[in-house]
Chains A and B, each alone.
Chain A
Amino acid sequence: MELCRLGIAETRALIDKGEVSPGEVLASVLGRIDAVEDRVRAYVTVTRERAGEMARESRGGPLSGIPIAVKDNMCTKGTPTTCSSKILENFVPPYESTVTSRLLEAGYVLPGKTNLDEFAMGSSTENSGFFPTSNPWDLERIPGGSSGGSAAAVAADECIAALGSDTGGSIRQPAALCGVVGLKPTYGRVSRYGLIAFASSFDQIGPITKTVKDAAALMNVIAGHDPLDSTSAPVEVPDFTAALSGDIKGMKIGVPKEYFIEGMDPEVESTVREAIKALEGLGAKVLDVTLPHTDYSVAAYYILATSEASSNLARYDGVKYGLRARAKELLQMYTETRAGGFGAEVKRRIMLGTFALSSGYYDAYYLNAQKVRTLIKQDFDEAFKKVDVIATPTTPEAAFKKGEKTGDPLKMYLSDIFTNSVNLAGVPAISIPCGFTGGGLPVGLQIIGRHFDEENVLKVADAYERATDWHKKRPKL
């Protein structure tokens, strides 16, 4: 068996037993990249040399010798970090993000930085300023986004595991569409220091892996309070792998009617309903719950996230780093730098957010959206009084064709209709493979938990994974 096909746990075991070396694991991953990357295009940068050094130097640590791809919006000192934007094409961070610092301490090997929708704004990775990534299950289709590069790299075995970031579904949606596991932790669980901000009150880093167990193992390394991030929570970090008992007897699983809507792909709906039945078969109690403000989540999300983005992206002005247009005076330098450096979707969102925050519109848009956010959080709080976790489809449909939605931003935004609410509420949620469409495309089951209760989310996901084989399927590339 090829080493690159393995997950963290299996690779760890082989290295620890001395049966394989980190160098061999890396060679397998790099070989796989050589074989398929021209078709998948998951990576913006393959850090071959640095990976070699890291593999040679790796010793001890829970991730020592494990190649983990990192989405290219997390700062890696000395290694280009582009956010898949022309404006940061030449940017080499002088500092290390907290998550990658923790990976370094754990001994990881960085095979490369993965592609994303520019500044994590998008649901298909088609908004990358460089090139689109393909879905390994069907190269004509998108891998989802914005962590499309990380999800595709995991699905195509171009790494052992990966990190993504999730602002409105950017881990879970591509994980679902690529048939892998993706966990968005509770807001505040993982430090955002060094994560290039899209929308600060939503952004959260999480694992994209081949198994639930691997997601738990990565969480053990990256979770925890960081004094450099005021929004990271000073909350005790459990051993997430210890929660994976396989036993979910008597657990209450809520199913919200608002997540089974008209217009969604009937194949996706039936696949997810099957998966929920399977959970019931494992001894869980399935209950109906309601999240009544779900309808407003996409609108609220796009007002708040773009408002924050309009401010977060103001620093790309050509003065300090990144692209700078040559111009005769300041205003011209600003406008030409930003006009040339940002892609269409980023510009659209900056304009939307600038508008929503403008004097005279702030109350109608930003403030009302904040109120909706509170209502959506309260929906979850209410539901979690009755149930331990909530199960829903991750997406309304399987991977769509490239170019299918690029002309209609609203349609594209609706790909995140089942994931946005979770970010508004700040709760944790995972997407796991739960079957395939007739056309052979993966379908994702989303399991949502209470704030800081990743343990139950992982436990349910793991129990399902033990009972099924979906996660073992691999695309034929």
Chain B
Amino acid sequence: MDDRLLVEQSAQNNTDAFRLLILRYQRMVFSYLGNFQLPVQVLEDLAQETFLRAYRNITDFDSEKGASFSTWLITIARNLAINEKAKMSRREKHSGGSRDENHGRNEKSPQDILEKRNLYSRVHDAINQLPEKFHTAVILSYFDELSIEEIAQIEECPVGTVKSRVFRGKQILRQILERENML
């Protein structure tokens, strides 16, 4: 089932459809938020808030404008993370600049963080360049927790078709990343 259909059903208050979107993109959202060096609990709260906002405003998402659902979702996550970082730095200033012990689980330099975010955006953009049927297959194979048989059932197509879409999609993705000198 492609994103557009799931978004349409979610807009009609179908939480089962939205649950599939969460399962599909939760890993991507956690990974993106992980680039902001936030404490674990804050990270989960922000991920949760990202999906809640997406659900509340799902009727605003317009796939016709060309943006993919994942891009829209990542934009929400980004805005939330930036606001949270600003709030945290204000709190730090007020508390005399002492850093919370919990604050970055794994301290990295700002340059490392920027590099990781940049890498993330480039891979994300490359995935978004895939033609729709390959895009869905690749996203499902990387980020969804479903087996190929379950994907075939959802997509209402034979297992062999899903497998060949994943194969072809990954081939195209590799070509895109090679062009970008990332492989």
Pairing of A with B: no
Give B contacts to A, CB under 8 Å. Answer: none
Give A contacts to B, CB under 8 Å. Answer: none
